Amino acid sequence: MELKIYKDKNEVAKEFSSYLADFVATKETVHIALSGGSTPKIVFHRLASDYAAKIDWSKIHFYWGDERCVPPTDEQSNYKMTVDHLFSKITMPEENIHRVLGENNPTGEAMRYANLLEINLDRVDGIPQFDLVILGMGDDGHTASIFPHEIALWHAEDHCVVAMHPDSGQERVSINGKVINKSKEVAFLVTGESKADKVTEIINKTGDHKSYPASLVNPESGNLVWFLDHSAASGVRGD
């Protein structure tokens, strides 16, 4: 596990964008799972403004680690957020964008997406393997769309599961823990004071860390990089 701690959200976005550019530069084709949330939005802005011409976007196939079960035009859609803040600002082959069809029946879509991952990605021990999974972490310690009240979904056999937001009841399609931990690399983007307690418990393995899905992120490759700002990392020491 590597901790990269920066001054604020903007510096996290700047440094993560540089990391992503380096990650892609040395590879022919990369399959990357995106997350939703406010931190990735700032990253997408930075990528669009500073890397539109610096990254060969045709090398990248984008997927989502989780998506809300809403139409792609809905403000809640992680896909729409990515289109608005990144895809609409770069030259990207349409066929490289593999969105979760949030408008479809959740159970059927979870199955369809799981099959898509099996077809598009290399499989290791039967599990589709991403080159990079980008994750956020909620204030409650959820990651992707695996929430504490449904932490059992982390261990589901199916590559993709239907989860439910604990407050809104909104259904979501999410990849499971096996797919996340099979990824060649996992990058956590976690910023803000509201995350500090959970980050501290998870990284220091203290308190109720075992009850937070984010604490279960432990890629077999060993390549786990936390991108944190000082607010979120106030309880941990950087590398």
Task: Tell me the CB-side half-sphere exposure of residue 122, using CA atoms within 13 A.
Answer: 11
For ligand 6PG, the closer CB: 30 or 43: 43
Residue whose C-alpha is closest to residue 143's, from 219, 61, 85: 219
Judged by CB under 6 A, the residue of 77, 78, 181, 215 near ligand 6PG is 78
Handedness of CA 178, 180, 186, 190 (dihedral sign): negative
Q: Nearer to ligand 6PG by C-beta: 59 or 164?
A: 164
Both tokens assigned to 105:
């029946």
Q: Which residues inside 21-40 make contact with ligand 6PG, applying CB under 6 A?
A: 35-39
Span interacting with ligand 6PG, options 50-58, 138-146, 148-156, 215-223, rule CB under 6 A: 138-146
By beta carbon distance, the residue nearest ligand 6PG is 136
User: What is the rounded distance in angstroms from the CA atom of residue 186 to the CA atom of residue 131?
Assistant: 8
Binding to ligand 6PG, residues 54-73 (CB under 6 A): 66
In the bound state with ligand 6PG, the residue whose beta carbon lies nearer, of 137 and 233, is 137
Tell me the C-alpha to C-alpha distance, in Å, between residue 194 and each of 139, 154, 216, 228, 229: 6, 23, 20, 12, 12
**What is the nearest approach in angstroms of ligand 6PG to the Cβ of residue 69?**
11
> Using CA atoms, how far apart are residues 69 and 8, in angstroms rounded to an integer?
31
Smallest distance from ligand 6PG to CB 34, Å: 8
Q: What are the CA-CA distances from residue 188 to residues 70, 72, 91, 113, 115 (Å)?
A: 25, 25, 26, 22, 25
Q: Which amino acid belongs to residue 77?
A: S
Q: Which stretch binds ligand 6PG (CB under 6 A): 23-31, 119-127, 131-139, 227-235?
A: 131-139
Instruction: Decide if residue 82 touches ligand 6PG (CB under 6 A).
Output: no
Q: Which is nearer to ligand 6PG, 128 or 138 (CB)?
A: 138
Residues that bind ligand 6PG (CB under 6 A): 35-39, 66, 78, 136-138, 142-145
